Structure 1
Amino acid sequence: MSKDKTRKIYGLASVLGIDRGDELHSLVLGLTGEEHISNLDESQYHTVLNELYTRLKLSGIEPPPSHISSPKKGSRGMSKDQQCMVWYLMYQLKALDQHPRSASLGERLRGIIKRELHVDVTSEQPFLWLDYQQGSLLIERLKKYVSSAARKRRGDVDGYAGHA
């Protein structure tokens, strides 16, 4: 199985909060009888993928975009790894939300890019106009958003939880 397909399984599992270790491998073994994700054939891959998408739907979690565009050879766009990291951080941010948001993750990402990088993008292709350096900056800013949301969730708004 290709590395992209393996990454897709790991990515969907991480969105669901399923760790890369025993929990995911137990799920794969139970569904396919195969111990290693890299050994799945096409049919087994789709079985696991369908199960993960079903769990996303039942959890009310919006699945990540099915196609992540990679920059053409020689272009200066964001790398596939950067794009995956941005979506991972966006899902972490969503998981930390204290109140449900009406905006989709794509719309939220669009707003963050506009606010932080001053680039107007579409929610359907948020990375189209960003270069590698902007991708790195976006990831660093998103890490701060996630860290801040985690502190707020713990009640540690000023950085000093429990110290009044």
Structure 2
Amino acid sequence: MRKVLLLLFFSVSLGFVSCSKDDDDSTEVILKNQMIYEGRTFSIDSVFIEDYGINDGQEEDGTRYYNYDFYLFGKSGDEALNFITELYAPLENGDTFRTGTFENLSKTNIDSFYHLSFVEFKDKDLESDTGNIKVEGQGETYTISGNLTLENGESIEIGYSGKFEIIDRK
């Protein structure tokens, strides 16, 4: 009888542990080096960053930003898709690019992280209208992800993690 009760106790305890809700409520799914556009998946096969450095006071209030432009090039069969995002991170205690979540320029306060993003596909050259870009990492290795709505109402989802060639444009 004692063994049955002990077994029952451990079974119930295991149920509580295995069924407990994760602390992370995020439903964000990171794509594995892919972009999804027009219902098709494009494998990202080439990436680089253009480092433009400090953008001194171009904003009305004199806010200083560090500018990295991320380029992601993908293919699906014979079709190519290019994604370019200009990321501006406000300077804080240093003069290097900071990672974070970048809001669409048209939807943000000027003193926060912001982006301007573009999609080039076939004869389309579209700017993003809404959505955020999240960047993590340092040096040459970054993870970039986002889900954006473009100016024509279409959406693009991106996800890439790996090493980027960095081109100095300062």
Mark yes or no: TM-score above 0.5.
no
Higher RCO (CA < 8 A, seq sep 6+): 2
Q: TM-score range by the shorter chain?
A: under 0.3
- Of Structure 1 and Structure 2, which has the larger fraction of its residues in helix? 1
Report the TM-score when normalising by structure 2: 0.22
Structure (1 or 2) with the larger CA radius of gyration:
2
What's the TM-score once normalised by structure 1's chain length? 0.23
